[in-house]
Structure 1
């Protein structure tokens, strides 16, 4: 085979591989549109559903876990897990847009994140008194939010 033909075949093969690789790394959706993917969109826009399936079970587990001082690492690990879920849940609340009083909504959401984070740190330190105090602070904030945005329904008890 002629050297020039070999170079042409090799160049064609490399070009074809480059086209294939760039095509295979682009999803059909990306190839069809030049829009950026939308970020920060709630999966469940209904706040009652969101609260019922994210916050309520977590609150109930924490209430039970903190009803007495945890006496083993497994319970402390559960407290850390649930407090982190609540803290990150505060970030998720910021994705939801209330009909009015956005600034108040954001402040309550940020406080959920802060108290959840503080509860997480107290649980990491296995500090029962601080954990109980941060949990109570979070519940006070949750109840204030429920009072403002849900006509006082769904008040939580420590």
Structure 2
């Protein structure tokens, strides 16, 4: 009887581990080849200036306002919210690649996502130095992208 219980426990552990592995994998949101057109990623707004003005700019302004506060006055929830939004914008930028220099664009988009992720993680842990460093890196990357793709317009100041 104890052998049966042991076998059952081992089987249960294997099933549980398999389930955890399946559910711990990141979700795949990109459309598969041959999927229906309604399942494809399509920008709602194709004009990059409009996209930046109504998606990025409000988040940046709110984040900039928070980052101007003294360390002990930072509102972590607000920083996490804007950081997560900007991180996900990196993913949205991937479906808006320009016809020229698409690889450079993609690298900037990945850097936006990663800096946003680092900013979010630092804010979650209430790590002031990490938040400030990630914020500066985010602005630096945005400005490099604006130099390359917007002719130096829309340069941000931290």
Cα RMSD (Å) of the superposition?
1.6
1:82 aligns with 2:43: no
CA displacement 1:125-148 (0-9 Å, x = unmatched): 111121011000010000000000
Aligned to 2:109: 109
Distance 1:129 1:67 in 2: 14
Compute the displacement of 1:68 (Å): 2.0
SS of equivalent to 1:37: helix
Distance 1:102 1:146 in 2: 14
1:65 aligns with 2:66: yes
Q: Which structure would you say has the larger RCO, counting Cα contacts within 8 Å and 6 or more residues apart?
A: 1
TM-score, length of structure 1 as denominator length: 0.74
Aligned to 2:40: 39
| Structure 2: 5+ residue stretches without partners | 1-34
Map of 1:104-143 to 2, 5 A cutoff? 104-143=104-143
Q: Name the CA shift for 1:70/1:76 in 2 (closer, same or farther; >3 Å).
A: farther
Distance 2:104 2:117 in 1: 20
Compute the displacement of 1:39 (Å): 1.4
TM-score, length of structure 2 as denominator length: 0.74
CA displacement 1:33-85 (0-9 Å, x = unmatched): x9442411111100000000010010111111011235468x21000000000
CA contact (8 A) 1:69 1:128 kept: no
